[in-house]
Amino acid sequence: MMKRMILAGLFALVALPALAAPPFLPQQDVDVSYALTTPGQPAQDYQMQYDAAGRLARVESPQGIYILADLATGQAQVVVPALRATVQAPDFSALTGMIANADGARFTPLGPGLYAGLACEKYLVLNAQGSGTACLTPQGVVLHFNGQDPHGSAQVTALSVTFAPQPAQDFTPPQGYSAINLPPGALAALLQQP
């Protein structure tokens, strides 16, 4: 469950490393519903909200667990409402930093695409970790991604996209939640559990 949620967050938010063009982070506030498909698993829907000014993201899983990522600081936490807790994990913050600052990808334009009623540009994306195709709007929203790396493959498709200001409280953990800290390596070990 957590592994799929993190994959959804990474692929849907910025499945692509940094480069001069195209934009790979949303340039304005947006709320996107995505369907995530991984081999051998039924599709699952995820919700991603993005605050462009603060470079803040929230990715919510179907199980109600959600990730809060601050791309400006490279910090991230997992919010687990069932436990009334937030999990601070150095491993996940490192992944957040990679999202905001990754490099080394090569993009090859493939032509126009259309997902969730919006036009986008398709790209072949290649880097040392994997390969895939992505369709990006001019505003930097990933509408479709299909890729693979040594850990597996996934496909993410936008179902709906709403450009609108996002509520600030959606990017902070609820008051009164306990904070749980995991040592380096612990989150990766947990994510390997079936």
Helix (H, G, I), strand (E, B) or coil at 76: strand
Which helix (H) or strand (E) segment holds residue 69: the answer is strand 66-70
pTM: 0.79
Max distance between CA atoms of the chain, in angstroms, equals 49
Pair of tokens at residue 74: 């490279």
The per-residue pLDDT for 184 is 65
The per-residue pLDDT for 111 is 94
Does the pLDDT value for residue 23 go beyond 90? Answer: no
The per-residue pLDDT for 103 is 46
Cα distance between residue 173 and residue 7, in whole Å: 21
Backbone angles phi, psi at 61, to 5 degrees: -90, 165
Q: Which domains does the chain have, with CATH numbers?
A: 2-181 (2.50.20.10)
Does the pLDDT value for residue 191 go beyond 70? Answer: no
Question: pLDDT tens digits for 101-151?
Answer: 434 567 789 999 999 999 999 988 877 777 888 899 999 899 999 988 777
Q: Mean pLDDT check: name the lowest of 87-91, 107-111, 126-130, 188-192.
A: 188-192
The per-residue pLDDT for 102 is 39
Confirm if 47 and 64 have CB atoms less than 8 A apart.
no
Q: How many helices (H) and strands (E) does the chain have?
A: 3, 12
Backbone angles phi, psi at 192, to 5 degrees: -80, -10
The secondary structure of residue 155, as a DSSP letter, is: E
Cα torsion 77, 29, 132, 119 to 10°: value is: 160
Better-predicted residue by pLDDT, 168 or 19: 168
